Amino acid sequence: MFDQKIFFAIFKSFEPGSWSVSGTGDAKLNVLGFGDITVAVAVNKIVNLKTLTDDLYVPGFGVNLFSIGDVTASGLIARLEEDKVLFMRNGEVVLTA
């Protein structure tokens, strides 16, 4: 979820409405669209561009959230190490957050 529309490289709007988000109780979010966001990812000082797909646009949310669950559902393994999260595929680090 991102609260800045400018981050979206591709954006699809839809009618304003409220969505329930798991873990927020009865809280509703004002979701106005979704799209793809390109991010710079550094692993071992090598920077690559990656695309996060189908991220929600929630203006005024106040923060941008990155879903570890979505990343692990795509086949990566998440490992906590000191003050960061390592995302791995086949034993190799492919993303650090």
Give ∠ CA 72-73-77 in degrees, rounded to 5: 25
CA 49 to chain centre: 14
DSSP string, 40-91: EEEETTEEEEEEEEEEEE-TT--S----HHHHHHTT-EEEEETTEEEEEETT
Binning pLDDT at 50, 70 and 90, where does residue 11 land? very high
DSSP state of 1: -
DSSP string, 3-33: S-GGGEEEEEEEEEEEEE-TTSTT-EEEEEE
pLDDT in tens, 22-79: 666 667 778 889 999 888 877 778 887 888 888 889 888 888 887 777 777 778 888 9
Q: What is the pLDDT of residue 12?
A: 94
Q: Does the pLDDT at position 7 exceed 80? A: yes
3-state secondary structure of 96: strand
pLDDT in tens, 17-37: 666 666 666 677 788 899 998
Q: What is the pLDDT of residue 35?
A: 93
